[in-house]
Structures are given as structure tokens and as C-alpha cells.
Amino acid sequence: MIKLNENYLKLQDSYLFSTIAKKVSEFQEKNPNKRVIKLGIGDVTLPIAPTIIENIKKSADEMSKKETFKGYGPEQGYDFLREKIVQFDYKTRKIEIEKDEIFVSDGAKCDTANIQELFSVDNIVAITDPVYPVYLDTNVMAGRSGNFNKETGKFDKIVYMKVCAENDFKPEIPKEKVDLIYLCFPNNPTGTVLNKIELKKWVDYAKENKAIILFDSAYEGFIVEDNVPHSIYEIEGAKEVAIEFRSFSKTAGFTGLRCAYTVVPKELKIDGISLNKLWNRRQTTKFNGVSYIIQKAAEAVYTEEGQKQIKQNIEYYRENARIIREGLISAGYTVYGGVNAPYIWLKVPNNMKSWEFFDELLSKANVVGTPGSGFGPSGEGYFRLTAFGNREDTIEAIQRIKKLK
Amino acid sequence: MIKLNENYLKLQDSYLFSTIAKKVSEFQEKNPNKRVIKLGIGDVTLPIAPTIIENIKKSADEMSKKETFKGYGPEQGYDFLREKIVQFDYKTRKIEIEKDEIFVSDGAKCDTANIQELFSVDNIVAITDPVYPVYLDTNVMAGRSGNFNKETGKFDKIVYMKVCAENDFKPEIPKEKVDLIYLCFPNNPTGTVLNKIELKKWVDYAKENKAIILFDSAYEGFIVEDNVPHSIYEIEGAKEVAIEFRSFSKTAGFTGLRCAYTVVPKELKIDGISLNKLWNRRQTTKFNGVSYIIQKAAEAVYTEEGQKQIKQNIEYYRENARIIREGLISAGYTVYGGVNAPYIWLKVPNNMKSWEFFDELLSKANVVGTPGSGFGPSGEGYFRLTAFGNREDTIEAIQRIKKLK
């Protein structure tokens, strides 16, 4: 008789974005004349850069002719793209990564979700709190979480590393031994970063304790400050302990095109067994590579024109972030993130709960954001706004919020 | 201290296609004047149909404008595509599938690989022998296989259902109880099919024994005979026991574009828990949807023009299959498959081993095929040729093989 993977039953349903959508549509129904501005969801809004579109069309033409048609590609990605990644994302920062350490995929979400398969279910997992929910949920599904404790809002066996104003959003090294450490910097949802010295502590910890760091740098493109590492491999020795996840989603607007990559260095071994080889085995068995057309689109990101065009878009979002950040500060809010990241994390005023603030912001300013508590128990009392809206809406949203005070 | 998923270490490295590539390149080096014809790999060669290319370009244009740009799409696929699938792939065959039972993905390989996550590691898995290796390997990785037995070439806990000339390539209902049954028809690698009565036996078994059938119908587009089911849901009651996998790869040449879908009916429940909901949870947590552009490409498959164009391509491959099949028969070979499938499965003559025949075919006829033993121990003594080559090569390959005899 067939049995379920019972770990799935331990998953806590997240109603975060569906609850937001429901509240917004109810509000709109009752207030048809109010224009609601949405700064809630972490999705880009600017169109794909012209050079990238051109490459998509060119590669579509290739697919239309027998001589240039491409069937199955390498599961790990085409060399033309892997070589560009090595050259532009790493060599320019004096990091030596070989092209067969790069695994092109259809999303950092998939990769950060799938990577845990390589490890024993007995390993202890550490995540920040608040956190991007994928890291947690995929470990629940795999059976590493233990049971959910309704009182604490936490799973028994997961080590939660609180990040909050009191510790300047720098996770502290856990007292208990941990094996798999998820770090996302620039951080989603808080928009905060670690500098090189702070990140080095984690690399050192991982080395000493034979732990592995899963480093999600999907928001790397937004970094402006010099001492903030774009890659964990800027830290000496990180290749022996860290896997890095990158994405074209937020840097080049690929959320709807789907392309990302993961770096698994050959130095990374457990008991002499290469994780690069294991991940290669995983990908060749369970994945069939990214669409040729989308890989050609990603390749165009690295051309001179492509770089210019995507940087304009990032600049646009960054200016939105500045407007939100400075506007909120001048309105008396306490604000975090938003400098090296597209997310602004604000302290909810007057000891309100995150959801109370959500309701107030929606009803009084007609602005939608994301309650911090949706990202974990320590997100309570915080609120996320994103810089991905358009300029006019962003300016107006902040003006409305200012009037609230 | 971090520990590996030790199940990965049980995986048997498949050197099948890399060994083939090596042997071919060695042969070419020694015989630079011989033209080798490759009928080994199951990948399409005809270009993408014009209507599909047009839709790719149109959707690229949409992505280039702010007003029509698409960011994250639904993880389950866009409604425009799910509705077409419901209408054209199911309603036309009088099968009622709802659009939220369709999950669009980037490949049937991924879906058939990932689906086992929903089930307990204690379940007993049944696969045919020979088999598409993904079904086996993903269950090894998950810990359902037990250990590998070098003598038998089989894993302890996996139930192998032999398919061979003696049972007309119809797997027999296993004597032991099994929980998860992988069936692929039209079959890869043998090219054989089950008719409706034969498939019904499996549906009945699954119902009686509370087992689940994972039905891979990636080659459905090649079916010509009336009594061969295109979908397992043509069998009464199958919605309560079966998940179906479909792909645009072989029907519309999407191996390099990447689009497929999986059907999880709402009737399918274990202990009252809906597998549709679980798969939805899996996909929303670990997957971020297929590229908008690729989904628009898949949508074009269902237009009148699209249908005409892809059917021309299938017809071309089918004619290749006929040429191979009839050519081999007239040369005295015993041949299976190739009628409702792009694969021709032949009995290796003179009690040769599969790899011996490979070497002979390569050296004497300069034709490359795939040794049956590469697909499982019961594939020994068989050999696979595919219909995906071009016409001239296919004709010449058969002429050369005929001269061998």
C-alpha cells in the first residue's frame, strides 16, 4: 500500500501572499476609487533589455533551421554561457572558477531547493530568522526539520539564527553545532548585508566544524559598497566550504525568462567525495538543461551593450530604494537595508504588529507591502517594501506614507 | 559534521552514451574516410515549426515593452497553455481533466524524476527492465533501492519487471506487492506499446492494491494504432491511481526548448490526502515556472498551423521508423517497436552480446546504435535504433546493415 512522504504534512501553509492578495482585493472592492500602489512583491517590472531580446530572436531563427537547430543541450549549461560567467562574474573579481564548476539552471529557487538532496537527512540545518521560505520548506520536505512548535512558530530541529535591529541583522554563530548553513546576502527580506570580515567568520566556522555554507547571492547586482562581497569566494578558503547561487532574475530582469546558476567548486569535498561530481550526477539525472534560447538571452547580458542596459535598470530600482529609504527616514521611520539591495526593511511604529501595520498602510495610504512576520517569527514588528515598482508610484507611495504620520 | 546523502554512493555510473561517444571517436580517428551514421540518441533533428518560432518572437517583443512585460508567472503554468492542453490533449479524447490538474514544467525528465518525492521512502518501486534510467536512479538517490547486486546487475529492493520477446514486451503484474509502478508507453527503449485491455490490468491492480502508476507518455504523438491508449485516463478509474507525464520534446521538437507537463488528477488521494495539492506544494516551493516565452511557444503547438507543422515532422520520423523496421525485417532481423514509437528494438543476431553487435555495426556498417544492455540487464541481446535521423542517412544506414548479412 502506497504511503506518503509524511514530512510534507509537517509543512506550514504559507498564506502570506495569498492573504495579501485577498486583503487588497477586498479593499479595492469597497473602495473602487482609491488607487492602490503595490510595493509588496519582489518581482521586477522593467522590460528585458533590447540586446537580450535581439539574442532571443536570433536564437529562435537558429532553432528554425535544420543546420543550426539545437536539440538536447548539456544539462550543465552551454559552454558559451559558462565561459562568460567565469570571465565576467568571477575573473573580474580575481576569483578563479573553472567552467565545469558552473551549473546553469532555470532558477536559484530550484537550485537552493534541490541542493539539500546531496546531504544526509541527519544534518542540522541553520537558517536566519526571518528567511526566504524555500530554505526552510525544502528541509521540512526532506525530513530534517523535526516537528513544528505552534507556540514558538519554529521547527524542533532547525537552528534559527535571529537577525534583527539588536544584532544589526548579522546572524550570530550558533552555539549548537550545525552542518548546513543557509546565508543570503544581500538579504531577502531585510535588504541588509555582511561585509567581508563578517562573512569570513562563517567561512572559518564552516572550516573548523566541517559545515557547508549555501550562499545565495541572487541580489549581488545591487551591491554598491566596496567592503561588501559579491561572491563568497572573495573570502579565502571559501571554495572548500561553500556553494554559491546566482541568478539573472534580479540583475537582468529574468524572473519571467528563467535562468540562474550554481557554483560548486571542485575543492568542496566530504570524506574525499567531490560535491561537484555529486551535483553533476544530480543535475544530469533530474534536469535536462535550460532552453537554448534562454541561455542565449543570458549570454547577451555579458555583452557591452547588455551590461550597459541592465545596469540602467538596476540603477532605476536603486533610485527607487533611495527614495523609499530616505523618504521613510525623513518621516521618522527606522529603516534598514535598501542600500545594497532592492528591499527596505522598516521597524513597524508604535509597537504595532506587522499585519496591523499592513492593514493601516493599506486602508490609510493605499500602499501594499509585506508583513515581516510572514518571513519567520523574528520578522514580527517589521515590514518589507520593495524597490521594483515604477518611479511615479514609488514617489507617490512615500508621499502618502509621510502624510500618515 | 556534514554528512552526505549516502544513497548517492549507491548509484551505478552509466557510461552508456559516453562509451558510445568514445568508441565512435576512436573509430573515426582510425578511419577518417568512413562516414559514420548515428542512429543512437533519442533526440529530434528537425527544426522547430514556423508558427512556434513566430510565437517565440512575438512573446520576446512582449517582454521588451513595459506594458506587456511578464515577470514571475504561475509555478503551475499560464492558464493560456493549461487550457489548450485540457482542450486538445484530453477533451478531444473525451477525457475530462481540469486545468488545475495540469502542471507545466521544463521537462518530463524533471517531473518523472521529482515525483517520487511525494512518497515514503518505504514504498516498493517497480520498473520495467530494460527501462529509462531516470526512474531507477532517482529512487536510488532517495533511498528506495537497497544495495546493488553486481551479479544480477539489479538493486535489492527494486522490483524489475522483465520485458522481452518472450512476453511480447508486456510487463507482468509482479508477484510481490508493489506501491509505485513506472510505466512508459509507447516505451523507451523498446518502442513497444500496451493496448487498452493490457493497460487496464495495471489500473485494476493499482486500485486493488492501493498502488500508484506513474505513466510516462512522452511518445504519445507517435501512436497510430486505434487500440493503443494515448493517455492512461482513457482507462476507466485511472484518475484514482495514476499520474501522467507528457512532453513537447518528441511531439513538437522541444528537446532544446524545454516544455512538458504532468497531470495529477484531484481524484488521486492517499489516506484522503490529495496528491494534486502535494504536487502543487512541491512545485510552488521548488520550481518557479517555465519561461513565458517557452510557454507561448508551446501554446503555438495547438494552433491549426502548429498542429499541421508538427504532424509533418512526426510523419517524417515515422517514415524513418518504417524504413528501418521494414529494411531490417527484409534483411532477416527480428524487430520490435517502431510502429507507434520512434524506437526500433532489434534482437541481436547470432547470440551476440549487445556491445559486440555495437562494435560490429560500427566497424562494418559504420552505423551507431545503442546497446540494449545499457537500459538494464534484460536489455542484453537487444539493440536500439532511433528514427530521429535524416531520411538520406536512415536509408543509407539500412542499406549498409543489409549488406552485412
CB–CB of A278 and B45 under 8 A? no
Instruction: Please state the ipTM of this predicted complex.
Output: 0.96
Which site among B10, B68, B258 would you substitute to test the A interface, given the most A Cβ atoms closer than 10 Å to its Cβ?
Answer: B258
Q: Does B44 touch chain A (CB under 8 A)?
A: yes
The whole-angstrom distance between A333's CA and the closest CA on chain B is: 30
The whole-angstrom distance between A75's CA and the closest CA on chain B is: 11
Which among B60, B81, B79 is positioned nearest to B69, based on CA atoms? B60
Q: Does B298 touch chain A (CB under 8 A)?
A: no
Chain-centre distance of CA A299, in angstroms? 21
CB-based contact B243:B206 (threshold 8 Å): no
pLDDT at res. A157 = 98
Structure-block grid coordinates of residue A115: 541542493
* Closest-approach residue (CA) in chain A for B124: A2
Q: Give percent above pLDDT 90 in chain B.
A: 97
pLDDT tens digits for range B80-131? 999 999 999 999 999 999 999 999 999 999 999 999 999 999 999 999 999 9
H-helix segments, B174-274: 196-209, 249-252
pLDDT at res. A52 = 98
Residue type, B57: K
Q: Does B47 touch chain A (CB under 8 A)?
A: yes
Name chain B contacts of A43, Cβ cutoff 8 Å. Answer: 71-72
What torsion, rounded to 10 degrees, do the Cα atoms B36, B37, B40, B42 define?
140
Buried-state track A202-229, b at ≥16 Cβ within 10 A, e below 16: bbbbbeebebbbbbbbbbbbbbeeeebb
Q: Does B120 touch chain A (CB under 8 A)?
A: yes
How far is it, in rounded angstroms, from Cα B13 to Cα B11? 6
Instruction: Domains for chain A: give ranges and CATH numbers.
Output: 6-47+305-404 (3.90.1150.10), 53-302 (3.40.640.10)
pLDDT at res. A102 = 98
CB–CB of B122 and A293 under 8 A? no
Question: Which positions 307-366 of A are in contact with B (Cβ < 8 Å)?
Answer: none
pLDDT at res. A335 = 98
pLDDT tens digits for range A371-381? 999 999 999 99
pLDDT at res. A16 = 87
How far is it, in rounded angstroms, from Cα A120 to Cα B69? 41
Q: Does B80 touch chain A (CB under 8 A)?
A: no
Q: Does A262 touch chain B (CB under 8 A)?
A: no
Instruction: Say if residue B41's pLDDT is above 90.
Output: no
CB–CB of B3 and A257 under 8 A? no
Structure-block grid coordinates of residue A165: 535591529
Instruction: Say if residue A297's pLDDT is above 90.
Output: yes
pLDDT at res. B339 = 97
Between the two ends of chain B, the Cα-to-Cα distance in Å is 61
Structure-block grid coordinates of residue B280: 502543487
Q: Does A392 touch chain B (CB under 8 A)?
A: no
pLDDT at res. A41 = 84
